[in-house]
Structure 1
Amino acid sequence: AMKERGLGSVMAPEVLEHLSSKRVLTTRWVEGERLEGSRADDVPRLCGVALNAYLTMLLDTGTLHCDPHPGNLLRTPDGKLCILDFGMTLNVPRDLQLSLLEFIADLQAENYERVP
């Protein structure tokens, strides 16, 4: 799905449906190193790719990954970004998607008076 949106360097582990339930999400193991601990030259680029991927998920599908911390981002041996832990996601209505974008833009621009 990410490749179709111009994010071919993003992947997520395959979900093992037969080992998953409403309370447990089991995925295939992915080789890689945590982005926060990697010394690879492309880490800054992959951080930008991660932000783009999270925003694309939100705006294209309405899906918000609710646990986007650095430990859930891997750099694979072939230089791709792997986003882990989709166990906690939320479907966000369109009007709230735009409000979240405004919030992020205000934080980025340091317009703190506009941040609730």
Structure 2
Amino acid sequence: MMRSAMNKEQIIEFILTLPEAELDYPFGTDVMVFKVLGKMFALIIVNDGIVDINLKGAPADNEALASMFTAIRPGYHMNKKHWITVSVTEEIEDGMLKGLIDRSYDLVVAKLKKADRERLAIHR
């Protein structure tokens, strides 16, 4: 099976399908920060032509992923226990990347106020 790496535009398009996901540039124009109700769940930066995306994850999952994939490492400039950096290469299948993005979004939403969580759940 041929693997393909999603390009930056496809990743952005996917992220923005999540309920109330917003794109912001608090760190300058080369760092795309995606938030839900003001809370960050993804950060994209391009390094040497490779798209890197920081995502939140459960510490045990993050550790396992980093040990299994060379394209996944502890979060760059983030809390390394709770965040991973995924280099979007052919090693990472599109479905897996989408799953990691969904998981990051869900972990952040889980920390929101109950009324906000319920409002977002209607759209999922």
- Whether these two folds match at TM > 0.5 is no
**What is the TM-score when the length of structure 2 is the normalising length?**
0.33
Question: Which has the larger helix fraction?
Answer: 1
Pick the structure with greater CA Rg. 1
Considering fraction of residues, name the structure with more strand: 2
